[in-house]
Chain A
């Protein structure tokens, strides 16, 4: 059985910066830099980090809305197969690398095109942050939900009609909503429509790109509960991108923390909340407000801003803002290592500071 639905290896997404009269390539914005991440079947992986750290870029690269600069995203492959291909790529032997390249055409979703890509689109879907932007204002709800089905070209008109109705019921809406325009709905309802569209083609994996942050607080929990229910009913896998830590705590099984295009910590939700290892994660968690005015707690306040991703700091990317930074942090890039079981951290000094 494949337990990994997505296996992201050394993924890079650079946006070129062009300048001058001739649009010369002068630099890169390193939005996602050398990132490894596996997403397990059926889990909800929370992806957190501050604005501009590359969360959304990572998501959109998985969706093939942006093209990856480098790296591989294996879709639905066993761990052994992935390791075998990675081994071939790392072997340094020309024929072996060529063989690996051949294999990648089939399994690496960053290299798919044409029919394969269209099929993949069925299995990988997205729910955007703001439903007032993600629904075409001049399309009927019926057409919006039906579009992915229609584009696939394998469903008959009647099947599509039935399926749209089912989907609407699934997300808690009714038949009479089919013949309306998005502007006739409230924010929560619109997000339900967006969810229905994402589920239309029976996906395995849905990228949730901050699906609740544009909604009223009262509606957020409704949508979260709906998403959790749907995950159970349709055995979906979520990558839940957000910067709202409590939402992530509520919905995720595991949490990945990103900082400036790099993964800094990855582990089970409970583990991370109980025992954060990376100084950045500690700072993030200490920023969660506690609904008790009497409680006293030490807050870690980070100084400075996120450095410019065009020219990220050498060594550990967090070192300019880290109070534990030593010379080693300024020189050497820390790798993700397993600190506890299933709990990974990319920090040179996690042992000393925990």
Chain B
């Protein structure tokens, strides 16, 4: 049994001593030395935990439609925090705490889904355009120019209206409008690497284009793009919230931060004798959105310093 154990431990050491793992632990250690990255990581982890344990933290009334915020009566004016509603309620007594908790899930969904889809499209189109150049590059780049020429928010609003309002439409539209940024970025990175000697060496060894892109170009160029993408998860959620705020999001009562701010548009300013009477209705979802964006930005910023091969070891 002891020999078996010994074998196991050596195997584990073997894994830990693999240089790729060593590189990663080296980076991770540096990452954790930076206080800003720890703050960012903590914020995102808290949000992640909230999203994961949402059913425990705020049990839904209808398990099949958990994103519907329960409301307690039909009173129009929001009510301030109370033991039943720790963060208060919005108009028609929608519970703010419930909305925040389940809204975290919406935020992750929106952020990840849009950014992943954009990255996917961007990596494929950007690699092809950057590596092969020629007419394909020309077409893709002129299309991205067109997208850049149009104001993002106006285009997004027009398209959402055309598809039909709702959170899903916002996601679709932001994917349609978001990919050119990533495509351009990846294309630029790839063009900078395309004529490097190690690419030529791979060619001289007989490697095919696909292999060169996957084995040689992407590992050297993807990091900066991934880092921008991680920062964009926050901003994407912010933009989606802006669209929701403009009334293009889901129906009222849906647990989405942007939607919640939108619902409380009429209550930003209180009655003349007490202007700040309803501060909690806008402050709480707004604060949460800001923290979410901040978390991703700090995380991305710290990750850039550590994982970007051009920045590290300096």
Contact = CB atoms under 8 A, between A and B. Distances in A.
Interface of A: 60, 63-65, 117-118, 121-122, 124-126, 128-130, 133-140, 147-148, 151-152, 179-181, 183, 194, 197, 200-201
Nearest to A130: B197
Contact of A197 (B19, B205, B309): B205
| In the A-B complex, the 3 residue pairs with the closest CB atoms | A148-B205, A121-B206, A134-B197
Interface of B: 18-20, 23, 196-198, 200-208, 211, 215-216, 219-220, 309, 313
Given A134-B198, A137-B309, A151 B205 contact: yes
A134 B18 CA distance: 23
Nearest to B18: A179
B206 A126 contact: no
14 contacts: A65-B200, A121-B206, A126-B200, A128-B201, A133-B197, A134-B198, A134-B200, A134-B201, A138-B219, A139-B219, A140-B20, A151-B211, A179-B18, A179-B19
Nearest to A119: B206
A136 B198 contact: yes
B202 A147 contact: yes
Given A128-B200, A133-B198, A138 B205 contact: no
B221 to A, nearest CB: 10
B17 to A, nearest CB: 8
A136 B208 CA distance: 16
A197 B201 contact: yes
A82 to B, nearest CB: 24
A152 B205 CA distance: 8
A128 B220 contact: no
B18 to A, nearest CB: 7
A124 B201 CA distance: 12
Given A133-B196, A134-B197, A181 B23 contact: yes
A147 B200 CA distance: 13
Given A126-B204, A128-B201, A139-B216, 9 more contacts: A117-B206, A134-B197, A138-B220, A140-B20, A148-B206, A179-B18, A180-B19, A197-B201, A201-B205
Nearest to B310: A137
Contacts of B201: 126, 128, 134-135, 194, 197
A207 B132 CA distance: 26
A135 B198 contact: yes
Nearest to A120: B206
Which among B23, B208, B215, B219 has the greatest number of chain A C-beta atoms within 10 A?
Answer: B215
Nearest to B17: A179
B204 A121 contact: yes
A118 B19 contact: no
A80 to B, nearest CB: 30
Contact of A183 (B197, B203, B313): B313
B19 A140 contact: yes
A209 to B, nearest CB: 9
B14 to A, nearest CB: 10
B220 A136 contact: yes
Nearest to B201: A134
Nearest to A200: B205
A147 B207 contact: yes
A138 B309 contact: yes
A173 to B, nearest CB: 16
A179 B23 CA distance: 12
Contacts of B196: 133
A137 B220 contact: yes
Given A137-B309, A183-B313, A125 B19 contact: no
B173 to A, nearest CB: 34
A126 B168 CA distance: 54
A169 B47 CA distance: 53
A122 B206 contact: yes
Contacts of A134: 197-198, 200-201
A134 B20 CA distance: 20
Contacts of B207: 147, 151
Contacts of B220: 136-138
B39 to A, nearest CB: 29
Nearest to A138: B219
A125 B204 CA distance: 7
